[in-house]
Amino acid sequence: DTEVTQTPKHLVMGMTNKKSLKCEQHMGHRAMYWYKQKAKKPPELMFVYSYEKLSINESVPSRFSPECPNSSLLNLHLHALQPEDSALYLCASSQAVHGANVLTFGAGSRLTVL
């Protein structure tokens, strides 16, 4: 299995809702990432987990809450989002080794906040 699987593919939520995005990989990778991508812009790094511990938080607002329950799963919990948070959310994983560190990306979850 050489894929990163993201669910759901599409999500529409209101500003008062609580929802979660899920990411799964079975490549034995020990680093997992969340990126946010607005239309016609490059992906922007949000969070990095290394060996199931949060290692990087790029000053992301607290309405985004990441969770890494085990080495294969990564969640992004969403609460009280704003319409400007509408974007494509990308998950990636890598071996977390020193040296070349190639990221494998999922297809993304497209979020619309009403």
Residues forming the site for another protein (CB under 8 A) = 4, 30-31, 33, 35, 42-45, 48-50, 55-56, 88, 90, 92, 94, 96-108, 110
For every residue of 5-23, DSSP letters joined together read EEE-SEEEE-TT-EEEEEE
Report the residue number, 8 or 14, with the smaller CB distance to another protein. 8
Q: Report the alpha-carbon distance of residue 45 to residue 78 in Å, rounded.
A: 17
Rounded least distance, CB 80 to another protein, Å? 26
Report the residue number, 19 or 110, with the smaller CB distance to another protein. 110
Positive or negative, the CA dihedral 84, 86, 91, 92 is negative
